[in-house]
């Protein structure tokens, strides 16, 4: 199943407020893909569709992924595709879901795995992606990357007129800023998990 089709099905889920159809999405992907490819496709989809104000919808889908097949959250551990999506979005809500609905349950089912070592590996990956994302980030300059406001509406001197591309850029900047704060919070939480346990 291509990402476009996943998006189409996902939008139907949102319109119908049906969490059951999240299961159908995951089932359809698993019918035609290996666990590793399914994990990658679903993680890429979550990454592309994630918006801070709609984070709960992404959490619902992630919970269903774990409920359907926990291996999707463990393939390529610790650099799992779903965990990587969490790092790129910087979503603390997705991180909490990963830790509570996957990690805690998975470790309980696999008592032979050392919990502190498990968390330490996740922490190392979090630090690596945090550094990678910051290293790849570039400053944004007015007049070069975006145009400043080009006027004010006649009836509202508290508003400004922006080019659509500039507005979209500002929206992306807000998401990136939230992701930076989220990754800081994620790394702090991982330290707590390491110290106090899962």
Q: Does residue 98 contact residue 189 with C-beta atoms inside 8 Å?
A: no
Q: What is the pLDDT of residue 59?
A: 94
Q: What is the pLDDT of residue 4?
A: 37
Range of the domain at 137: 3-196
Taking the chain (198 residues) in consecutive chunks of 10 residues, what is each chunk's mean pLDDT?
Answer: 60 69 82 91 90 90 93 96 96 97 96 95 95 89 74 80 82 90 95 86
Q: What is the pLDDT of residue 78?
A: 96
Sort 2 into a burial class: Cβ within 10 Å, 0-12 / 13-18 / 19+.
exposed
User: Structural domain tally of the chain?
Assistant: 1
Four-CA torsion 195, 196, 197, 198, nearest 10 degrees: -120
Q: What is the pLDDT of residue 1?
A: 40
Q: What is the DSSP string of 99-147?
A: IIIIIHHHHHH-TTS-HHHHHHHHHHHHHHHHHHHHHH-----BTTTBP
Q: What is the pLDDT of residue 31?
A: 86
Spatial neighbors of 84 by CB under 8 A, at least 6 apart, are 43, 125, 129
């Amino acid at each position: 199943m291509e990402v476009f089709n996943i998006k189409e099905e996902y939008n139907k889920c949102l319109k119908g407020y049906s969490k059951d159809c999240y299961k159908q999405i995951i089932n359809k992907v698993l019918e035609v893909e290996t666990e590793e490819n399914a994990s990658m496709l679903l993680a890429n989809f979550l990454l592309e569709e994630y918006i801070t104000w709609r984070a709960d919808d992404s959490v619902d889908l992630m919970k269903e992924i774990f409920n359907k097949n926990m291996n999707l959250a463990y393939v390529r551990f610790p650099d799992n595709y779903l965990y990587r999506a969490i790092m790129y979005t910087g979503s603390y809500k997705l991180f909490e879901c990963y830790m509570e609905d996957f990690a805690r349950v998975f470790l309980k089912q696999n008592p032979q795995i050392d919990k502190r070592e498990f968390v330490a590996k996740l922490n190392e990956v979090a630090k690596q992606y945090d550094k990678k994302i910051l290293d790849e980030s570039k400053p944004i300059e007015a007049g070069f990357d975006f145009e400043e406001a080009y006027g004010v509406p006649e009836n509202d001197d508290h508003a400004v007129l922006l080019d659509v591309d500039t507005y979209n850029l500002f929206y992306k900047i807000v998401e990136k800023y939230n992701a930076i704060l989220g990754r800081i919070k994620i790394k702090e939480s991982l330290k707590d998990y390491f110290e106090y346990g899962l």
